[in-house]
Amino acid sequence: MEPPAVERKLTAILSADVAGYSRLMGDDEAATVETLTTYRKVFAECIDRHRGRVVNAPGDAILAEFGSVVDAVACAVEIQRELAERNQELPSERMMRFRIGVNLGDVVVREGAIYGDGVNIAARLESLAEPGGITLSGSAFDQVENKLPLAYVYLGKKEVKNISKPLRTYRILSKPGSVAHRMSQARRGIGGTWRAVLLVSMALAIVVGLMAGAWVVFFRIGAEPGLSHRDRGSPLSEKPSIAVLPFTNTSGDPDQDFFSDGITDDIIAHLAVLRGLKVIARDSTFKYKGLSPDARQVSRELGVRFVLEGGVGSAGDRVRIDARLIDSSTGEQLWAERFVRSAGEIFTVQEDITRAIVAELGVNIPENRQMRDPGHAAAGPEAYSLLLRGRQEQWKRNKGAMARARVHYEAALQLAPRYAAAKVQLGWLHYTDAVEGWSSNYWGSLNRALELGKEAIALDSRRGIAHTLVGYVLLTRDGNAGRAIEYCERGLSLAPNNGHVVMVCASIHSWTDGGSRALELARHGMQINPVPPAWYFNALGMALWRNGQNAEAVPVLEKCRAMKPNDIWCPANLIVAYAKLGDREKAAASAEALRRINPQVTSNFFTIGFQDSVLSKELADIFRQVGISPEME
C-alpha cells in the first residue's frame, strides 16, 4: 500500500504568546487565567473576522493561519491595539502583553494541524517581538509593504534556532496609544468587513499623521525661529550624525526607568566628546520616549543619518542591554548586539557599545581617550544608581525635583566621596538654586557650586561640563570674564557636542565679549539640540541682540517666554530687544510681565554681569525707561 500523499500549502501563519507569562502565573494564577481567557476571546473573534482560523492554543500560546498575509497582519495590529486598550484597565504589574510573529510559508497539513519550517519561523519571529509588538518575516513584509497604512523598520537578518538560513525581519511601528479606543469604537460601529477595517486603519493613519505633523511644526519649525535649514543640520552633513533614542525599560518595572534613561544619557555623553561626530542632545531625543518612531522620521525631524535604539532590563544582579544602529537613509540595521553582564560590568558594556558605533561610522577616537567613565566603576553600582536617580530628577528642572536630586547626589557622595560625576551634578544643582532664586543663601550656593566644580576637575580633568560650571560661577560670582572664557573653552574642547556645554559657553561669550563667537556657539547648540529647553532660546536670543540682530532675537525670546512663562531672563532680554528696535510699547509690556514674575526685580540682576561698562549703562537706561530701577526704591 502506498503511503498517503502529504498535503502541503502556502499560508500566512500568526504565532503569539504572552510575555512574562511565568511571572504573571507565579504572582496570581487565578487572575492570570481570567485575563488570558478574556484575551483569547479577543484573538478568536478577530481571527474569525479576518477569515482566519485558530489552529492550536496550548498554554499561553496561539497559532492561527490565514489565506492572506494582509488579513493576518491587519488582524495582528487590531489585536494589539485592542489588548493595549484593555491593559489600561489593569494595574501595571497585571498587564498581559502578547508578542506576535507573522510569516508566509509552506506548511504540511495533517488532520487540521499544520507543521514545518513555515510554522517554526513564525514562532521564532514571535520570540523576537517586543511585548505588545509584531515582527514580520521578509516574505510576509513583501506582501503587505504597500497594502496597509503602517510603518515598518528593518531589523536585519537574524540567526534563529533550528532554522538553517538567517531570517530577514521587520518590526511594525504601530504604537498602541490613546487612539486605540477610537479605533475599536469605530470598528464596532461599522462592522467587521475588510472594507471597514481598511477604512478604520486609513483613518487612524491620517490621525497619527496629523498629530505627527503638528508635533513637527511646533517642535521642529517653531523651535528654531531665525535658523536657516543649513543651521538646523542635515542627514547628509559632511560628518556622521547620530541620535541616540531613549533605551526602552524592558524589566517590566516602571521604577527602573531611571536606569534605562541613565544608560542612554551616558552613551550620549561618551559620543559627545568626539569632534568627528554630530550627536543630538538628550532634550531632543527624549521627546521620543515611550514612542516607536521610524528611523526615517527621526532623520527628518532631528537632521541625522544614523539612529541608535535599544532596551535595558535587569534581573537580580544581571543586566541585559540590546542595542541596534540603523542607517536612516535605507532603514538598514548596520549593527546589533545583546549584552548580558553583571551589574558591576555595566560600564564596560557602555564602552563596548560606544566603540562599536564609532567603528561602524568610521570616526576616530582621540589617543588615550576612554569611551567610558572610570569614576562610575570606582564608585560602584549602588552609588551609580543613586547618581542616575538624581539625574532623572534634575532633568525635570523644577524646585521640588532639584531638592529630591540633591538627596540622591549627597547619598552617592556618602558612599563614594571621590565620585566626580556626582560632584559636578550637585554643583550644577547649587548653581541653579542660586540663579533661579530657590536658595536662601545666594552666595553660599554659588560658593558651593564653585567648590564642587573644582573638586570634580581635580578628580577628573577631562570633564567638560565641570570646566563649564566653574567658568559660569566665576563670571556670575566674581565677574571674572577672562577666567570664565578660559574655563568654558576648555570645556568645549573636551565635549564639543555636549549641548549644555555649548550653550553655557555661548552665554558666557554674550556676557563678556558679545562677539560672533557667542552667536556661532548658540547656533551650534541649536543644531545638536533641535528640541531644546527654554533657556537655549534665551541664550540664542541674547547672542542675537548682542550682535545687532534685534528683529531676529524677538521671536526667539518670545518662544522662550511661551515655553517658560515664569522665567525672569526671557522678558528681561525682550525688554532690550524691543527697546533697541524702538518699540517702547512692547518693551514696557515685557517689563510689566517681568514685574509680575518678580515684583522686587531690579535692573542690576541683569546688567551687572556685562563686562562692557558702556553697554551696562545703556542697558540700565533702557530698564529705567520702562520703570525698572537699579535698586529697590
pLDDT of residue 315: 62
pLDDT at 179 over 80: no
How far from chain centre, in Å, is Cα 297?
14
Per-chain mean pLDDT for the chain: 81
pLDDT of residue 186: 34
pLDDT tens column, 112-164: 899 999 999 999 999 888 888 899 999 999 999 878 877 677 777 888 887 88
Listed range (160-164, 231-235, 420-424, 484-488) with the worst mean pLDDT: 231-235
pLDDT of residue 587: 94
pLDDT of residue 39: 95
Q: CA 197, CA 13: separation in Å to the nearest integer?
A: 20
Average pLDDT over residues 548-560: 94
Average pLDDT over residues 309-323: 79
pLDDT tens column, 494-553: 888 888 899 999 999 998 887 789 999 999 999 888 888 888 999 999 999 999 999 999
Q: CA 282, CA 198: separation in Å to the nearest integer?
A: 38
pLDDT of residue 614: 84
For helices 464-473 and 481-494, give the axis angle rounded to 10 degrees. Answer: 170
| Residue 95, phi then psi, degrees to nearest 5 | -60, 140
pLDDT at 477 over 70: yes
CATH, range 234-365:
3.40.50.10610
pLDDT of residue 633: 42
CB atoms within 10 A of CB 444: 13
> Which residues pair with residue 312 across a beta bridge?
249, 321
CB 96 within 8 Å of CB 134: no
The CATH architecture to which 7-176 belongs is 2-Layer Sandwich (3.30)
Listed range (113-122, 221-230, 561-570) with the worst mean pLDDT: 221-230
pLDDT tens column, 23-68: 899 889 999 999 999 999 999 999 999 999 999 998 899 999 999 9
pLDDT tier for residue 369 given thresholds of 50, 70 and 90? low
How far from chain centre, in Å, is Cα 209?
20
> Which residues pair with residue 64 across a beta bridge?
14, 54
Provide the H-helix boundaries in 442-533.
Answer: 442-459, 464-473, 481-494, 499-511, 516-528
pLDDT of residue 206: 33
Listed range (187-196, 427-436, 441-450, 579-588) with the worst mean pLDDT: 187-196
CB 449 within 8 Å of CB 466: no
Cell of 337: 548586539
Q: Which helix (H) or strand (E) covers residue 10, if one does?
A: strand 7-18
pLDDT at 364 over 80: no
In three state form, how does the secondary structure of 27-73 look? HCHHHHHHHHHHHHHHHHHHHHHCCEEEEECCCCCEEEEECCHHHHH
- Domain positions in the chain are 7-176, 183-232, 234-365, 535-633
pLDDT of residue 208: 36
CATH, range 535-633:
1.25.40.10
Q: CA 208, CA 99: separation in Å to the nearest integer?
A: 23
